[in-house]
């Protein structure tokens, strides 16, 4: 057990990290172009934040949270999702006092105690977007367009956008009454979990993953058919903005999302290729969450996207990510005096923005070249007694085989030219 990672966790190895670095860099570039700024919240929060914000009847709170008491008996939970902590930070730091809307993104580890499966780990990583302070349908369409932009930039196809509206708080009250009346005759047949949700949050029954329950509620009345005029107009606005930028969508009345804080717009991006749970991104509007947590009334909308599932979608599309995580220069040394010079030269190169490395385990000259080739080094420099005496180095392009003698005084300028710096 000592040398085995806990179930549902996975090491990210150096041979894979360049893919994550590329995706994270692309996310940050896209967010910057949309005017979003990064937030980093603590990895754990008071348990009550998730109980109140996410909802006590949700699977997350009922079954999946990593919760423990600290040394003073306070109940603490590892970050179970990203929106509630971001809303808490928005309230605590009085971001609502700034010019609105507040546009935020995060890339963070998420912890869920659930059955591990492909792309779904107990510690996974999530890219999330939140807009606080706007109730306009344009903001809903904007967060959706960020997902679309990311997929397009990564070359991911075969992902469909499903959208729905579950209405405002007043719509939901009326709809819950309709839903409970419909479900009353089915309580003896639906699962135990759905029975427990009947009084507290009947809409969550629509999200049940039990096949028998889904079969029993095939003709269930739908939230989208019971919206007030304002919610109908809002949903039409979302669709109008999506059409204006050529983002295709499917209106799916069954989407309610799994968290209690959603209102009006709910959406999912669903992959046709990766299997298991095929939702690769989900989000929607949550106009009451900030107020529920003790802040001022603040409309908001956002999404969460699992990075692991994004990478699965990337792989299923055979999209290639170039590995640029290589060393610019490897310095091959001949003898102890040369190694001393190489150590100093490597330090100077690094300080000038050129990545470099030297041999640290006493390889032969042939083995040093072989190692430099294996790690994908662009150039090698050879230093021996003759080179030290003449104050020159032998510079070799590892891709073309071209080799030149270069004066040490000119080395930095030549390297920058050859590397395009």
pLDDT digits (tens, 9 = 90+) for 176-217: 889 889 888 888 888 888 887 888 778 878 877 788 888 888
Task: Please check the confidence at residue 275 and state whether its pLDDT lies above 60.
Answer: no
pLDDT in tens, 156-172: 988 999 999 999 989 98
Calculate mean pLDDT across residues 129-141.
Answer: 98
Burial of residue 396 (CB within 10 Å: 0-12, 13-18, 19+) is: buried
Q: Which fold does the domain 329-414 belong to in CATH? A: Rossmann fold (3.40.50)
Higher pLDDT, 387 or 90: 90
Q: What does the pLDDT read at residue 198?
A: 81
Calculate mean pLDDT across residues 384-412.
Answer: 89
Task: Please check the confidence at residue 224 and state whether its pLDDT lies above 80.
Answer: yes
274 band by pLDDT with thresholds 50, 70 and 90: low
Place of tokens 């989000």: 283
Q: Helix crossing, 14-34 with 137-154: angle to 10°?
A: 140
Q: What does the pLDDT read at residue 39?
A: 98
Q: Which residues contact 344 (CB under 8 A, 6 or more apart)?
A: none
> What distance in Å separates the CA atoms of residue 235 and residue 28, rounded to the nearest whole number?
29
Task: Please check the confidence at residue 280 and state whether its pLDDT lies above 50.
Answer: yes
Break the chain into its structural domains and give their ranges: 14-168+228-316, 329-414
Q: What does the pLDDT read at residue 259?
A: 65
What percentage of the chain reaches a pLDDT higher than 70?
A: 98
Place of tokens 């809303």: 87
Q: Work out the end-to-end distance of the chain between its first and last CA atoms, rounded to an integer number of angstroms.
A: 47
250 band by pLDDT with thresholds 50, 70 and 90: very high
Q: What does the pLDDT read at residue 276?
A: 46
14-168+228-316 to CATH, choices 2.102.10.10, 1.20.1250.20, 3.30.930.10, 1.10.760.10: 3.30.930.10
> What distance in Å separates the CA atoms of residue 126 and residue 81, rounded to the nearest whole number?
8
Task: Please check the confidence at residue 43 and state whether its pLDDT lies above 50.
Answer: yes
The 10 Å Cβ neighbour count of residue 325 is 15
pLDDT in tens, 300-338: 999 999 999 999 888 888 888 888 778 999 999 998 899
**Continuous segment of H or E residues that includes residue 273:** none
Please tell me the pTM assigned to this model: 0.89
> What distance in Å separates the CA atoms of residue 345 and residue 387, rounded to the nearest whole number?
13
Taking all residues of the chain, what is their mean pLDDT, rounded to a whole number?
A: 91
| 128, 302 Cβ separation under 8 angstroms | yes
Task: Please check the confidence at residue 145 and state whether its pLDDT lies above 60.
Answer: yes
Task: Please check the confidence at residue 277 and state whether its pLDDT lies above 60.
Answer: no
> What distance in Å separates the CA atoms of residue 258 and residue 276, rounded to the nearest whole number?
17
Calculate mean pLDDT across residues 394-403.
Answer: 91
What percentage of the chain reaches a pLDDT higher than 90?
A: 63
Calculate mean pLDDT across residues 123-133.
Answer: 97
> What distance in Å separates the CA atoms of residue 102 and residue 86, rounded to the nearest whole number?
11
The 10 Å Cβ neighbour count of residue 306 is 22
Buried b (16+ CB within 10 A) or exposed e, 92-107: eeebbeeeebbbbbbb
Task: Please check the confidence at residue 57 and state whether its pLDDT lies above 70.
Answer: no
């Amino acid at each position: 057990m000592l040398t085995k990672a806990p179930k549902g966790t996975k090491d990210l190895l150096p041979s894979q990290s360049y893919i994550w670095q590329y995706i994270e860099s692309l996310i940050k570039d896209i967010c910057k172009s949309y005017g979003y700024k990064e937030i980093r919240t603590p990895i754990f929060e008071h348990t009550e934040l998730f109980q109140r914000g996410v909802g006590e009847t949700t699977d997350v709170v009922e079954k999946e949270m990593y919760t423990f008491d600290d040394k003073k008996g306070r109940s603490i939970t590892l970050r179970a999702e990203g929106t509630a902590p971001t809303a808490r930070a928005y309230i605590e730091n009085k971001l609502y006092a700034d010019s609105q809307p507040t546009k935020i993104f995060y890339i963070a580890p998420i912890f869920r105690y659930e059955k591990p499966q492909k792309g779904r780990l107990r510690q996974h990583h999530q890219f999330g977007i939140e807009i606080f302070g706007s109730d306009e349908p344009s903001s809903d369409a904007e967060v959706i367009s960020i997902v679309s932009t990311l997929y397009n930039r990564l070359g991911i196809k075969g992902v469909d956008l499903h959208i729905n509206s579950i209405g405002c708080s007043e719509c939901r009250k009326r709809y819950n009454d309709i839903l409970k009346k419909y479900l009353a005759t089915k309580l003896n047949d639906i699962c135990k979990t759905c029975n427990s949700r009947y009084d507290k949050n009947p809409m969550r029954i629509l999200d049940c993953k039990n096949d028998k329950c889904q079969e029993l509620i095939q003709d269930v009345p739908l939230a989208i058919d019971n919206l007030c005029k304002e919610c109908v107009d809002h949903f039409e606005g979302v669709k109008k903005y999506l059409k204006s930028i050529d983002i295709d969508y499917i209106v799916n009345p069954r989407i309610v999302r799994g968290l209690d804080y959603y209102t009006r717009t709910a959406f999912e991006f669903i992959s046709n290729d990766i299997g298991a749970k095929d939702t690769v991104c989900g989000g929607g509007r949550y106009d009451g969450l900030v107020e529920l947590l003790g802040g001022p009334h603040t409309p908001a909308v956002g999404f969460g996207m699992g990075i692991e599932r994004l990478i699965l979608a990337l792989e299923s599309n055979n999209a290639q990510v170039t590995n640029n995580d290589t060393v610019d220069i490897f310095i091959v040394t001949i003898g102890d005096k040369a190694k001393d010079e190489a150590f100093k030269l490597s330090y100077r190169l690094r300080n000038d923005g050129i990545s470099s490395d030297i041999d640290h385990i006493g390889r032969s000259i042939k083995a040093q070249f072989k190692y430099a080739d294996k790690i994908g080094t662009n150039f090698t420099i050879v230093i021996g007694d003759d080179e030290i005496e003449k104050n020159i180095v032998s510079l070799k392009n590892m891709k073309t085989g071209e080799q030149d003698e270069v004066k040490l005084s000119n080395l930095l300028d030549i390297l920058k030219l050859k590397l395009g710096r």
